[in-house]
Amino acid sequence: MNYDWELIKSTVKSLQKEKRYKHTIGVANEALNLGKIFLPKKLEKLYLAGLLHDITKDFEKTEQLRLCEKYGIEISINIPPKLLHAKTGANFAKEKFSTEYVDSEVFDGIFYHTTGRANMSIFEMLIYLADYIEDGRTFEDCVVLRKFFYDKIKFSKTMEEKLETLRKTMLFSFDLTIKNLIDEGKIIDADTIESRNYFLTTKLLMEE
Ligand code: DGI
Ligand code: FE
Ligand code: FE
């Protein structure tokens, strides 16, 4: 695919605050780093999903709700508002750039980047993880998780070992997130719980 990177970047930049745009570039770059390890044939698509993952993150809550209505995104009474941007973002990006750019893989990468889901694809995992460990993140859990992953991946020789490192890192990330949500008294989305259980119980295999 011949992506117009300048158009994509300037569009996202115009919709985000400066700090958020920096994070966006960080995620796109980290998605590339992870892609080189796990999905070397999908580097451009990973970079694209990284650029688009938080495209609606800085929109006001009323705008998020308007977009949910517009795209037919179901809002259960329990859904934490923070989770809306992933779902509105996937739909908004698809509308803005067409399905040639935002195909179902990119769409789902954006859609599930905050909660994950049971049986998520490797592509979805890499966007989720890139978001968590990109260089600009200084929150302690992010620093710990980044080190956890890169310390282990160094010694992972075969793809089977690399996927086991990915599984352990994903499990650890959900454990950290869920612990924080409990400490803060927040609602935990079913997808977040199911993701944690999935990585606890399932050995990852390379798709194809
Ligand atoms: O958009 P970002 O800040 O870059 O990152 P993100 O989309 O992964 O959002 C991270 C936030 O989402 C973090 O504060 C934890 C929160 N989160 C993740 N899963 C859940 C959740 N919040 C609630 N209330 N419930 C969840 O299940
Ligand atoms: Fe996000
Ligand atoms: Fe993000």
> What CATH number does the domain containing 189 carry?
1.10.3210.10
Please give the tally of structural domains in the chain: 1
2 C-alpha to ligand 2 centroid (Å): 26
Q: What is the pLDDT of residue 146?
A: 98
206, part of any domain: no
Main-chain phi, psi angles of 52, to 5 degrees: -95, -10
Alpha carbon distances (Å) from 132 to 28, 31, 103, 127, 145: 12, 11, 23, 9, 8
131, part of any domain: yes
Listed residues: CB within 5 A of ion ligand 3: 54, 131
Q: What is the pLDDT of residue 161?
A: 98
What atom of ligand 1 comes closest to residue 57's alpha carbon?
1
Which of 42, 183, 35 has the alpha carbon at shortest distance from 106? 42
175, part of any domain: yes
54 C-alpha to ligand 3 centroid (Å): 5
189, part of any domain: yes
Domain of 110 in residue numbering reads as 5-201
Q: What is the pLDDT of residue 83?
A: 96
154, part of any domain: yes
- CB 113, CB 131: distance < 8 Å: yes
What is the residue-level pLDDT of the chain in tens, covering all 208 positions? Answer: 899 999 999 999 999 999 999 999 999 999 999 999 999 999 999 999 999 999 999 999 999 999 999 999 998 888 888 999 999 999 999 999 999 999 999 999 999 999 999 999 999 999 999 999 999 999 999 999 999 999 999 999 999 999 999 999 999 999 999 999 999 999 999 999 999 999 999 999 998 7
Structure tokens belonging to residue 94: 């698809």
57 C-alpha to ligand 2 centroid (Å): 6
128 C-alpha to ligand 2 centroid (Å): 9
40, part of any domain: yes
127, part of any domain: yes
185, part of any domain: yes
Instruction: Provide CB contacts within 8 A for 88, sequence distance 6+.
Output: 56, 59, 64, 67, 68, 71, 73
Distance CA 103, CA 56 (A): 18
Q: What is the pLDDT of residue 77?
A: 80
Ligand nearest to the CA of 142: 1
Which residues are near ligand 1 (CB < 6 Å)? Answer: 23, 54, 57, 80, 82, 86, 113-115, 131, 177, 181, 186-189, 192
